[in-house]
Amino acid sequence: MLEDKLKGIIPLTEGKAAYTQTVDCGNITLTELFRRSRLWVAIANEENQVPVSDKETGDLVSYGTVTINMPRSESSAGGVYSFRYTLIVECANRKYRSSIRHILVQQNGNFAPIELFNLKSEQETKDLFTIFDKKISLVLQDLEQNTKDYKAF
């Protein structure tokens, strides 16, 4: 499998931006693992949509958004950038695999694949992608914390 990084920052799988992690959650049933990840999706972002939620297979698909406000500077016009993505969570054998794929960037009212997106300068694009990468990493960390390290009441 070909792996590289878009602009040296965002992981690529077969030429497409994709974040993937597998987390071992210890001694936990499929039902409980699925329940925890579904709860996280429901509370993580009020804009999340959930087109697939199958407790039998442990599959969960959600659409999410990330908005980044880049400040204006001498070298950058700045702006507000909206990213949409698909989050896939697959639960099985006391583990889950989360994948963030199909990342789109809104520019001038239209959405385009992140792989085709560029700002006026290479550095501006890298700065934006660095912030996006950090935000997506936080999404995956939060999912892990609230699924693997779920605090029961």
- CB-CB contact of 68 with 93 (8 Å): no
- CB-CB contact of 76 with 91 (8 Å): no
Q: Give 31-84 pLDDT, tens digit per residue.
A: 999 989 988 888 887 776 777 878 888 888 999 999 999 888 777 777 889 999
Integer-rounded Cα radius of gyration of the chain = 17
Q: Which domains does the chain have, with CATH numbers?
A: 9-140 (3.30.530.80)
Note the pLDDT of residue 1. Answer: 41
Q: Give 48-58 pLDDT, tens digit per residue.
A: 677 787 888 88
Which of 64, 151, 68, 53 is closest to 103 using CA atoms?
64
Q: Give 11-20 pLDDT, tens digit per residue.
A: 999 889 999 9
- Lowest model confidence (mean pLDDT) among 26-30, 73-77, 90-94, 95-99: 73-77
CA atoms in the 13 A half-sphere facing the CB of 123:
5
Where in 1-149 does DSSP place strands (E)? 3-6, 10-13, 16-17, 19-24, 49-54, 59-70, 79-92, 95-107, 110-113
